[in-house]
Amino acid sequence: MARITLEDLDGLGEEAEGGGEDEEEEEEERGRLFAHWEAVAGTHRVSLPQDMAGPILQMTRHSQAPQPVPYVTLSQQEKCEGAAYEERQYPAGKWACVTKGEPMYEQSISMSFMKLMRYICKENSVGCYLGMTVPVLNEIHLTEEGTELEREVVTAYYLPGEFQQNPPVPADPDIHITERAPLRVITRVFYGMTTEETILREISLFWELLGSTDTVLRRTYVVAAYQNPSVPQRRNEIWFICRAE
């Protein structure tokens, strides 16, 4: 039998202490991130459940390398300082989708994204982190008068390439894996917080830029989010959906 020396015991003690420090640091980071996201959630008029601390920590640690949703650029319209808008073709693919109809747009997207975060991080049939993709899509509809958003919003997360053929099953029954058809869109970038007011303004500005056309839908749009809600001046796009030819 191998003997355990005093040096070995000292080493075990150091490892245990180091492990404790790591756990303490992780707990501090978890608490700090949760407090930050809790404040952001408050601006969206939603409360942040305590069980979101784990997914927030995990997504923060993986935030440097989100996979882009694949697409092909068909054309660009230039403005003075860069591309004013762009036409793209997105292929068919599998998306995890949640539908919410809260009183405010930002409440719907926040609550849906929290569900998707849990699915991405661990609450799925493979029990592991799936990987983030961007953008996350929020499909919206205008009322018949065109002056307000309908309450129902579909929030969609594109499954990473390795899971496209065999998507992990969500633990949450509110999440549905959907095969979405190819999509041709005209897109324009804007920055900041997305609310019903800012979205309606961006749609109006985009129509002014495009002028009169019957090539795109008039009541269904997509708000594409590229950064998490904790980023103040985050990048978004408004998508006008081209009619099928």
Chain segment 228-238, per-residue pLDDT in tens: 776 778 899 99
Which CATH code fits 64-242? 3.20.80.10
Q: Can you give the residue ranges of every domain in the chain?
A: 6-59, 64-242
Gap between the Cα atoms of 167 and 6, Å rounded = 52
For the chain, the straight-line distance linking the first and the last C-alpha, in angstroms and rounded, comes to 79
pTM of the model: 0.82
Task: Kindly report, residue by residue over 167-223, the tens digit of the pLDDT.
Answer: 999 999 999 999 999 999 999 999 998 999 999 999 999 999 998 889 999 999 999
Residue range 62-73: average pLDDT? 87
- In one-letter notation, the amino acid at residue 170 is P
